[in-house]
Structure 1
Amino acid sequence: MLSRVWIALAVGWLSIAHAGAVDLNVEPIQPLEALPVDKARAALGRKLFFDTRLSVDNSISCAHCHDIKDMGGADGLAHSFGVNGREGEANSPTVFNAALNLAQFWDGRAASLEAQIDGPVTGHAEMANRWPAVVARLRADAEYRRAFRRVFGGGITAARIKRAIAEFERTLITTGARFDRYLLGDTNAISAEAKRGYALFKSYGCVACHQGRNVGGNLFQVLGVMGDYFADHPSDRAIDRGRFNVTGKAEDMHVFKVPSLRLAVLTAPYFHDGSQRTLAGAIRTMARYQLGREIPERDLRAIIAFLYSLVGEYQGRSLEPKERIWLAPENFGRRER
């Protein structure tokens, strides 16, 4: 929950922002660094990540909902679709930087990347498969048999499939963002507007939940700290109960994992149910229900400029869009250079 400690830290960070200093010892956001990985295991995991044979009808792969080439590691849909066109309830989160999250899924029901893989492979609205069938299918492939022996020193098992995919996902860290270069001392790496946006991001209190290396993903928070979000958006869907579905505790009703904002400009629509289609709309909604604030257009644009600077690189290629898409509801689709 939003604590007095975080509020006090936000006030401290604001004073630092006004001083114009960039001190990594006190900044709420830290630069990303690549994680150590087993390259051979990750290469095998990459192949599995794109293999449609993990699904019951050979129609979809992990990349179906987590497009790392063009969609920022998500799929651009409010709800993802699985085999036979089955629609899920959840908005697909980005797989980029997921290795830095404290847990996986919006409700945090998986404690690790390896544990998370069970969900899509066996989920009725996703791949709808069973592990014995997946293992049997891959064991029939001589190339996979050789690869697993080479990487793991043994045969194909469900546990090893999950370990390989998770290792690949640990390579999906988007280092080299302009904002990270700014934190590391390159004062010209981001624009004056982005610097102002970062100061506003701190002064409004956004950093109470969105901080650390991943600018989120490291804590759980109720949706509706300063206003009853679900009274204004009534729903009886199971997904809206959030972490309550995991713990059964009343205090976890409508509590969700705070998402990372590292690639927020690439991963519309937003929220656990994909109900907010624009970045500006998502920021306004969060300000209203989490902070009890209204954000004027000028400040909104500065914060969005800051969020653009958080987008890093993957495999030496910047993921930051070349065009700015100011996703305000009243001018949806308008592009600015």
Structure 2
Amino acid sequence: MSSDINFDLGAGQIEFLTYGIVLAGAGFLVLTGLVKELAPAERRRWMLGVALGTGVLAFTLKIAFVVLFSVFSVPMLDMLATPQKTLAGENSNFAQLNRFRSGTLLPSPYIWQALPHEAPTPTNNPQTPEKIALGENLFFDKRLSYDRTLSCASCHELSINRGGADGLPASVGIYDQQGTRNAPTVLNSAFQRVLFWDGRAASLEEQALGPLVNPIEMGMPSIASVEARIQSIPDYAEKYSSAFPENPVINAENTAKAIAAYERTLITPDSPYDRFVRGDDSALTEQQILGMALFEETGCPLCHSGPNFSEASVFGVTAVYRSFPTISGSDYEEKYQLTDDLGLAANTPNATRGVWRVPSLRNVSLTAPYLHNGSVDSLEEVVRIMATVQLGKTLSEKPEDDQQVNWSTGGRSFQVTRNHALTDDEVDNIVAFLKALSSDPASFNR
């Protein structure tokens, strides 16, 4: 819709403004009348008259300004807004960063946070060096799968170019069985409130045992068979005794605790973004800073908020789940088979179809392909998909598409949404920012 909108005064506003004009006239008459009536000799009474008349005029001007701002609030605020911080000259892209942003659904201002250097730890599973070492051994041990060919690290690679995932659309299990969902990154999973794409595990301890007994992943027939397999490996008896001196038993509970303890060390708090938020102004490029502002302005933090960029994290304040896609009927839906998987509804009775845990965007540039089914190879394409089917944005190079105006008949008011369209350059800027969320995880590899 074109941005050339004529704003008409409502009946109540006309009446209010009329009263203001009448009061202004009355104030003027009072002022002039008092001046004429009172002799200059009576100086104090003359000054009192001037003061009273001026007060009436001032009150009337206040009313007029209230009416003007209620009718023309967005344009007036646009003109009056001033940057709080100048990052570069007026000709720079940074000049856009502090402009007034109407239509945003985020708290103002949105507070950016760096990732903590340590993950939270449950009271019933404190971190110890011995437990972490045991968990690392278990994480990389292929003997824990039925055919002894896969480990946790097979689907959650810690190499520099995998980002804690495996680079496949969907993971491949024992006997080359094809899974149905993309492997989420294990990096920073310690900060998530729920695990798996459908959020069915409430802790790392609960999540750790799932793949071991999944028939198309590591394929062990039961938890008891997992325990028996570990018990048959001589090296583990001493390691479990060191890790759990008060209860040196090779069982499922201790196995899960050890793996979870190791996974809580797999965090990446030193990305360029983290260094920037902590005060290093040189950590991000100009394009990345502009992308960071666009990320906020577009509404991405409605789902990807906080230091782990996920409302499903321990920092989240809303629900851990989101419907995807929120806006149905787009070309993307069929092209990328977005609704073929039931999501949460596959394992939860009466759940809505297509509901998913909000994933973290940490290291997202390293974890292609994307989405729950791994159907999208390009991070630029993912940004376009999310902007349209989740946030209702338009992809356009036309300036007239950048503002959306909606009239509420019931509320008798306009809602003006600026920055409604994303251009290709803006998509590129957001992607540049997303790349700044990646750290080098090579130190975790073995």
TM-score (norm 1): 0.82
**1:32 alignment partner, one of 110, 115, 132:** 115
SS of alignment partner, residue 116 of structure 2:
coil
Alpha carbons 1:108, 1:243 under 8 Å: kept: yes
- Is 1:263 equivalent to 2:263 in the alignment? no
SS of alignment partner, residue 247 of structure 1:
coil
Q: 1:89-108 CA distances to partner (integer Å, 9 max, x unpaired)?
A: 00001000111112011110
Aligned to 2:286: 192
Return the letter of the residue paired with 2:196.
Answer: F
Whole-Å separation in 1 of the counterparts to 2:166 and 2:143: 20
55-64 or 226-235, which deviates more: 226-235
Aligned to 2:90: none
Return the letter of the residue paired with 1:302.
Answer: N
Alpha carbons 1:29, 1:215 under 8 Å: kept: no
**1:282 alignment partner, one of 382, 386, 396:** 382
Whole-Å separation in 2 of the counterparts to 1:118 and 1:30: 32
Residue correspondence of structure 1 range 190-269 to structure 2 within 5 A: 190-216=284-310, 217-218=312-313, 219-228=320-329, 232-233=333-334, 240-250=341-351, 252-269=352-369
Shift of 1:142: 2.5
In structure 2, relative to structure 1, the CA distance for the partners of 1:123 and 1:221 (3 Å cut) is: same
In structure 2, relative to structure 1, the CA distance for the partners of 1:278 and 1:128 (3 Å cut) is: same
In structure 2, relative to structure 1, the CA distance for the partners of 1:148 and 1:243 (3 Å cut) is: same
Aligned to 2:184: 93
Alpha carbons 1:175, 1:313 under 8 Å: kept: no
Which structure 2 residue ranges, 5 or more long, are not aligned?
1-82, 86-95, 100-107, 120-126, 314-319, 396-421
SS of alignment partner, residue 240 of structure 1:
coil
Aligned to 1:56: 146
Q: 1:51-80 CA distances to partner (integer Å, 9 max, x unpaired)?
A: 011100101000110001241100000010
85-94 or 39-48, which deviates more: 39-48
Aligned to 2:76: none
SS of alignment partner, residue 322 of structure 2:
strand
Residue correspondence of structure 1 range 121-160 to structure 2 within 5 A: 121-129=212-220, 130-153=222-245, 154-160=248-254
The two structures, once aligned, show a CA RMSD in angstroms of: 2.7
Aligned to 2:207: 116
Aligned to 2:174: 83
Identity value in percent: 36
Aligned to 1:297: 424
Return the letter of the residue paired with 2:150.
Answer: I
SS of alignment partner, residue 194 of structure 1:
helix
Alpha carbons 1:138, 1:144 under 8 Å: kept: yes
SS of alignment partner, residue 213 of structure 1:
coil
Whole-Å separation in 2 of the counterparts to 1:312 and 1:264: 10
Total equivalences in the alignment? 300
- Is 1:170 equivalent to 2:264 in the alignment? yes
Return the letter of the residue paired with 2:348.
Answer: T
Alpha carbons 2:97, 2:290 under 8 Å: kept: no
Whole-Å separation in 2 of the counterparts to 1:28 and 1:92: 30
Residue correspondence of structure 1 range 102-113 to structure 2 within 5 A: 102-113=193-204
SS of alignment partner, residue 198 of structure 2:
coil
132-141 or 193-202, which deviates more: 132-141
In structure 2, relative to structure 1, the CA distance for the partners of 1:198 and 1:60 (3 Å cut) is: same
Kindly name which structure, 1 or 2, has the bigger radius of gyration based on alpha carbons.
2
Whole-Å separation in 1 of the counterparts to 2:268 and 2:196: 20
Shift of 1:28: 4.2
Higher RCO by CA contacts (8 Å cutoff, separation 6 or greater): 1
TM-score (norm 2): 0.63
In structure 2, relative to structure 1, the CA distance for the partners of 1:231 and 1:75 (3 Å cut) is: closer
